Amino acid sequence: MTQTSTPPIAQRRPHAITHHGITVSDDYAWLRDPGYPDVKDKDVLAYLEAENSWFEAAMAPRKPLLDTLFQEMKGRIKEDDQSVPQKDGDYVYWRAFETGAQYRKWYRKPVAGGDDQLILDEPALAEGHDYFRLGAMSVSPDGRYLAYAIDTNGSERFEARIKDLFSGEILPEVIPDTLSSLVWTSDSKGLLYGLANENWRTDNARLHWLGQSVESDVELFHEDDEGFRVSIGLTSSEKYIVIATGDHVTSEAWLLPADNPTAKPLLVAARKAGREYDVDEHEGTLYIRTNDTHPNFRLARATLEAPDQWEEVIGADAHFYLTDFTLFKSFYVTEGRQDGLDQIELRDYATHTPKRIPFPEASYSASLDDNPEYDVTKLRIGYESMVTPDTIYDYDLATGELAVLKVQEIPSGYDATRYATERLMIPARDGTQIPVSIVYPKDFPRDGSAPLHLYGYGAYGIAMEPGFSTSRLSLLDRGFAFALAHIRGGDDLGQQWYLDGKLDKRSNSFTDFVDVAKGLVERGYASRGRISISGGSAGGELMGAVINSDPDLWGAVVAHVPFVDVLNTMLDETLPLTPGEWPEWGNPIEDEAAFRTIHSYDPYANVKAQPYPPLMVTAGLNDPRVTYWEPAKWVARLRATKTDDNILLLKTNMGAGHGGKSGRFESLHETAEEFAFILWQLGVED
């Protein structure tokens, strides 16, 4: 396994599982260390290290290309960049990168005047760690304390700390294993948080009083359903703390007075299977976004005295998907998608008449940006498209004017007129029209001769926004088109779009992606075997499914932390995410139909003796979401089964988790590796 001249071959150790009278073999089950998350098994580590050595050996000749790509990508990043300052109470806050820094520094300045104050130094916190990620952070209402959480190994078990911003002192209280937002009580003396239990599930909301030992913290709420997760937030007015619990299809919310967190919680509405809702408060009136009458959600209101008696404010609409709402003192904002395109609307509390903010392009991404204050005269808005860099606006409520505050700067230069973007509709095999966002050089040929990269996800109701990417320019400038397939399973066209790609309809996501690729070939954007594809996590599952079904379509495939061992994972209720995932994928333990459905598409179970396209796979040893053994087992079975000589690579980050390496330049390096692999396999190397 230590040789690098040939790929490593994992041992086959016969193992099988039987459910519902169906036996499934799993000869690579041994790659799961029984001590996980503490991985120490020598055979497991030896295999992963051998795969890493093979990856390094195979990619070594690509180093000049990789270095070129990395320098291109780095050259498009403004190294000494900073965010647009935003007022919140008595201070103006912003964050900034220094030249050469991997991580940000966080600053504030008194509105009344005074010096800049460094409130959090990420580079200092990251020093000495191979991995660093800042999680939740929150300044207390009186401006004195900063609560923040950090992860130094990628396991997403954050350690919460508290800093006195007046003295610079780090308080002695340290809260390990947090997995939630950090929410202050209104007197700035208490902090609410959630702990991850032994199965990496947040089933609680706890209260810590400053100056007290963490051991004496009080549990305010506990969730008994193993499939539900607890989250903590504040209403827009900051009068109430919201404790929410739910899974992928059902939710429930409780309210606590922010000035009396130990009071009896107020239940907004008891959970009903299949009903989701979220809640905010304005002047004693509750506003509730819910899918109780239609998958696309509606907005209702209720009183604090009868919080479960809902009166409709905005009805559900088959063409408008209500994704969010934000309450301000004198108006409120709804966000959603009209036939798949982002819309932001302002409404008054008296008439609820919508005023839509117009945007200039046919395909774009737009949303509220940082708006921390309740009483405002301007709204901060973010906007971008596949050809327009990230742009921050202030929208003047009185005049309706959009003022540009910042446009993403690209130091090495960028000319938007060199590129074109379109929104296409391509029919799936069942006749459903699938949206596709595509960008390409202006001189891109439509004869199938040029390469194309196709990206997809299609799960959990997560939409693929047609946004801007500086890294993507390295493909476009080498003649590629880049397309996003808005397949079912995401909520790109509304909640029904999501429902039509989950559970027993899961295969729609895979066939949509394949049919989009074939449609792009028919339209001359690509040709078979000249399409590179990529996806991560559930998008990695997508990659596994489509290379099993249509291997000859793809010229190169990159699967990041791919969720490919779906059946085994959904059968193991001890894994962190499994009970909460059953509403998304099905419960194969209790439901034979779900077992058969998952088994029918499971990428690992359906590896077959056939040619496969060139494939690059990544994993994270500390990943709690897609455990490292899923990609490892998949690669082992592919290597033992496939009938071609195409390259197959597995890279496991031994000190990172689901998101890969941390730091803006380290993550760029991994993108450069991905692009170098794609260019190598499609024969577009410099």
Q: How far apart are CA 669 and CA 441, in angstroms?
A: 24
Of 182, 193, 96, which Cα lies nearest the Cα of 141?
182
Q: Is residue 45 part of a domain?
A: yes
Q: Which of 278, 342, 658, 662 is catalytic?
A: 658
Least Cα distance to 411 among 97, 78, 99 occurs for 78
590 is a domain residue: yes
**Given 369, 512, 565, 623, the catalytic residue:** 623
The answer to the question of residue 105 being in a domain is no
pLDDT of residue 199: 82
Asked if residue 610 and residue 477 are part of one domain, the reply reads yes
Let me know: does 46 contact 37? Beta carbons within 8 Å. no
pLDDT band at 686 (very low <50, low <70, confident <90, very high): low
> Tens of pLDDT along 203-245?
999 999 999 999 999 999 999 999 999 999 999 999 999 999 9
Q: Do 284 and 261 belong to one domain? A: no
- Residue 528 lies inside a defined structural domain of this protein: yes
Res 427: pLDDT: 98
Q: Tell me the backbone φ, ψ of residue 256, rounded to 5 degrees.
A: -125, 135
In this structure, are 312 and 325 located in the same domain?
no
Q: 160: which 2 tokens? A: 């919460």
What are 82-116's pLDDT values in tens digits?
999 999 999 999 999 999 999 999 999 999 999 99
**DSSP code per residue over 554-595:** EEEEEEES----HHHHHT-TTSSSHHHHHHHH--TTT-HHHH
Per-residue DSSP letter, 660? B
Distances (CA, A) of 653 to 52, 79, 461: 9, 25, 28
Whether residue 654 sits in one domain with residue 537: yes
- CATH number of the domain at 234, please: 2.130.10.120
507-522 and 538-549 helices cross at what angle (nearest 10)?
Answer: 60
Asked if residue 454 is part of any domain, the answer here is: yes
Please tell me the predicted confidence (pLDDT) of residue 37.
Answer: 87
Band the pLDDT of 193: cuts 50, 70, 90.
very high
Helix (H, G, I), strand (E, B) or coil at 59: helix
Same domain, yes or no: 359 and 215: no
What is the CB neighbour count within 10 angstroms for residue 83? 18
Residues 394 and 251 in one domain: no
Tell me the percentage of the chain whose pLDDT exceeds 70.
99
Question: Is 57 or 577 the better-scoring residue by pLDDT?
Answer: 57
Give pLDDT tens digits for 493-519.
999 999 999 999 999 999 999 999 999
DSSP 488: B
Quick one: pLDDT at residue 1? 41
The whole-number pLDDT of residue 4 equals 62
- Residue 78's contacts (CB-CB under 8 Å, 6 or more residues apart) are 408, 409, 410, 411
Rounded Cα gap, residues 629 and 669, in angstroms: 24
Q: Which of 536, 535, 595, 533 is nearest to 566 (CA)?
A: 595
Measure the CA–CA gap between 288 and 334, rounded to whole angstroms: 12
Same domain, 614 and 656: yes
Q: Could you tell me the two tokens for 662?
A: 């941390």
- Would you say residue 249 has pLDDT above 80? yes
648 CA to centre of own chain: 26
Domain that holds residue 254: 129-267
The whole-angstrom separation of Cα 174 and Cα 149 is 10
User: How far is Cα 403 from Cα 185, in angstroms, rounded to an integer?
Assistant: 35
Res. 657: pLDDT tops 80:
no
Closest of 467, 269, 475, 290 to residue 384, by C-alpha:
467
**Banded pLDDT at 653 (limits 50, 70, 90):** very high
Angstrom CA distances, 231 to 60, 208, 292, stand at: 45, 16, 21
- For the chain, give the mean pLDDT: 96
The pLDDT value recorded for residue 630 is: 98
Stated length of the chain: 686
389 within 8 A of 361, measured Cβ to Cβ: no
392 and 529 in a single domain? The answer is: no
Identified catalytic residue from 537, 550, 565, 602: 537
Domains contained in the chain, number: 4
Active site residue 474: no
Question: Do 27 and 133 belong to one domain?
Answer: no
Regarding whether 20 and 55 lie in a shared domain, the answer is: yes
| Residue at 246 is within a domain | yes
Which pTM value belongs to this model? 0.94
Does 248 share its domain with 287?
no
In this prediction, residues 639-656 reach a mean pLDDT of 95
Q: Are residues 432 and 363 in the same domain?
A: no
C-alpha to C-alpha distance for 289 and 322, rounded to whole angstroms: 8
Q: Is 599 a catalytic residue?
A: no
**pLDDT for 2:** 43
Residue 369 forms part of a structural domain: yes
| 20-24, 151-155, 576-580, 651-655, range with greatest mean pLDDT | 20-24
20 is catalytic: no
Q: How far is CA 157 from CA 171, 175, 199, in A?
A: 20, 11, 11
Per-residue pLDDT reduced to its tens digit, 395-436: 999 999 999 999 999 999 999 999 999 999 999 999 999 999
Apex 664 CA angle, 663 and 668, nearest 5: 115
Residue 610 domain flag: yes
- In this structure, what CATH number is given to the domain that contains residue 558? 3.40.50.1820
pLDDT, tens digit, for every residue of 581-595?
A: 999 999 999 999 999
